[in-house]
Amino acid sequence: MLVKAVPRPSKGYRETVCCAGVTAWGAWRRLYPVRFRQLVAEQQFARWQWVDYTWQAPRGDYRRESRRIEENTLHPGRVMPGRDRLGAVLPLLRASTREAAAHGESLALIEPRDITFKARAKKPQVIDAERAAFREAARQQSLLDRDVSDFEPCPYAVAMAFTDQDGTRHAPQCGDWETTATFFNMRRRGADDAAIIAHLRAEFTEQRHGRRIFLAMGTVAKRPRQWLLLGVLRVQDAAPGQLALL
């Protein structure tokens, strides 16, 4: 698994998480629906962890990477060692989402030439509306569903402005759950919002010896030309100091 996006309220599934990863033979897979917070602890998985599952052809989603999973068959396995991660993701690299689309792909991994981290405080009414959407979706809970706490949306709209390898500038909002989780974890430990945002900005924009950053992009089923930023991967380079592919 490479991608776990922020949970979204769902009319049919209470809330779902967009999850995507790569197979052992190097093919993208998008898993849906994943009601991640409803999963028992033994089924919950982390980034870089192998996952087995049973699947069917999705209904109404013709993207070739998509798989409709049977939730009760999810079985997390071993975690990929750090030394193997760069080799696993390099074959997925595309210069741009335009190149990925030309190959008929709806998921793409981009190594940006540069990144600018942006965080804008949401208006109180926007946060209230997001909370209300989760509460409304939660009302669909069946007797078999586990009770979970209300999902608290991030009070900031986070965007990653970047230039792809074709020289095109993008500024998508960041839907990476790990980024949102870091925000709330630091806040619980007593950090103020300004310090948290400064930490995240440094984490994603500073050049660090032996580390490369990749952006996982994906399309929307009903809007196939729209690409979203689903995840941010930080990978140790097997050859420290290697520059981004140009």
Instruction: List per-residue pLDDT tens for the chain, 246 residues long.
Output: 999 999 999 877 888 999 999 999 999 999 988 999 989 999 999 999 999 999 998 988 999 999 999 989 999 999 999 999 999 999 999 999 999 999 999 999 999 999 999 999 999 999 999 999 998 888 776 666 677 788 999 999 999 999 999 999 999 999 999 999 999 999 999 999 999 999 999 999 998 888 999 999 999 988 888 999 999 999 988 654 444 433
List of residues 6+ apart from 120 with CB closer than 8 A: 156, 157, 159
CA dihedral 186, 192, 193, 196 (to 10 degrees): -40
Comparing CA positions, the residue from 134, 133, 126 lying closest to residue 37 is: 134
How many CB atoms within 10 Å of residue 71? 16
Q: Which among 103, 98, 97 has a CA at the least distance from the CA of 218? A: 97
Looking at residue 196, what is its pLDDT?
Answer: 98
Q: Which of 82, 65, 1 is nearest to 39 (CA)?
A: 1
Question: How far apart are alpha carbons 120 and 158 in whole angstroms?
Answer: 7
Question: Tokens in use for 121?
Answer: 């405080």
The enclosing H or E element of 88 equals: helix 82-89
Question: Residue 108 corresponds to which tokens in the numbers above?
Answer: 């793409």
Domains of the chain, by residue range, sit at 3-236
Residue 32 is encoded by which pair of tokens?
Answer: 């849906």
Stated pTM of the model: 0.91
